[in-house]
Amino acid sequence: MELSAGSGMACKLEFAVQMTCEKCVNAVKSSLQGVQGVQDVNVSLESETVVVETTLPALEVQKLLESTGRRAVLKGMGSTKSQNLGAAVVMMEGPVLGVVHFLQASEDTCVIDGTLDGLSPGLHGIHIHEFGDLSRGYESCGAHYNPDGNTHGGPGDHDRHVGDLGNILAGDDGRAAFRIANERLKVWNVIGRSLVVDEGEDDLGCGNHPFSKITGNSGKGLAFGIIARSAGLFENTKKICSCDGVTIWEERDCPIAGPGRKNVQTTYAHL
């Protein structure tokens, strides 16, 4: 399995993992032992939870846990500090589907962790937009979130929109699994706004096109969703959704992204 070391900003990921005995616990611990980017692992057989302190994307940690033959479900994300500073989630809609999580890992850094399926291979611009209005798809989401009145730029530029998150890379299978650390974004300022992934590459304000300094000339939006508050670490105690009776294990049988995810009510959707 090929893994990425992630953004470099560690956070804690809380997974529900099906475990029945100490053999299960040992298998889970072994799956994460010595993996680059995994800094600490805490396994509770009683509550069937695994908390991983890591710089890896959540999808990569989930794959490692499920390599033991046990199903795993991400329940929450949290800071390596004791307090929860804020978390949010987006269920993406459109021709491209997926789930993106936001975690305020520290006062200065927000971690964006997501998985999208159905993209064309290559780079795609990703931005936070002003409005949480999907009545006309991405067209009603407004401009990039830009409270400081800056021009469009890349994640490393001083002069850029707060909502400029750069590009994500989709592989040949159309899947983009990513983890971005952003020092300007604050979770509490973007809840209720929208996240949009575009059809093309964001030129990060460096192109010659008239839209380069406005949108990055990355084309129309392919995936979009409203950013909503979600559970932080140890805040999601649900095992059965009160709305539809779906257990977290039944929910896990649905793909994290892609066509099979559409119209699925998930644990996070009812928080």
Q: What is the pLDDT of residue 254?
A: 58
Residue 247 lies in a domain: no
Same domain, 98 and 69: no
Structural domain count, the chain = 2
Domain boundary residue, one of 20, 44, 78: 78
Domain membership of residue 104 (yes or no) is: yes
| Token pair belonging to 88 | 């949010």
pLDDT at 265: 38
> Which CATH number do you get for residue 60?
3.30.70.100
CA distance 242 to 80: 30
Check whether residue 72 and residue 184 sit in a common domain. Answer: no
**Is 201 a member of any domain?**
yes
- Place 200 in a pLDDT band, splitting at 50, 70 and 90: very high
- Residue 32 phi/psi, 5° resolution? -105, -10
Torsion of CA 159, 164, 167, 170, to 10 degrees: 180
Residue 239, domain member (yes or no): no
Residues 171 and 61 in one domain: no
pLDDT digits (tens, 9 = 90+) for 20-51: 999 999 999 999 999 999 999 999 999 999 99
From 78, 96, 113, the end of a domain falls on 78
Is there a single domain that holds both residue 96 and residue 217? yes
Inside any domain, residue 122: yes
> For residue 146, what are the domain limits?
87-229
pTM value is 0.81
**Amino acid (one-letter) located at 234:** F
Do residue 223 and residue 94 come from a single domain? yes
Inter-helix orientation angle 58-66/22-32, to 10° = 130
- 38/132 same-domain check: no
pLDDT, residue 242, reads 36
Structural domain contains residue 248? no
Whether 262 maps to a domain, the answer reads no
Range of weakest confidence among 104-113, 146-155, 197-206, 251-260: 251-260
Query: What mean pLDDT is predicted for residues 15-19?
Result: 92
Within a domain: 241: no
SS (H, E, C) the chain: CCCCCCCCCCEEEEEEECCCCHHHHHHHHHHHCCCCCEEEEEEECCCCEEEEEECCCHHHHHHHHHCCCCCEEEEEEECCCCCCCCEEEEEEECCCEEEEEEEECCCCCEEEEEEEECCCCEEEEEEEECCCCCEEEECCCCCECCCCCCCCCCCCCCCCCCCEEEEEEECCCCCEEEEEEECCCCHHHHCCCEEEEECCCCCCCCCCCCCCCCCCCCCCEEEEEECEECCECCCCCCCECCCCCCEHHHHHCCCCCCHHHCCCCCCHHHC
Q: Which of 29, 54, 78 finishes a domain?
A: 78
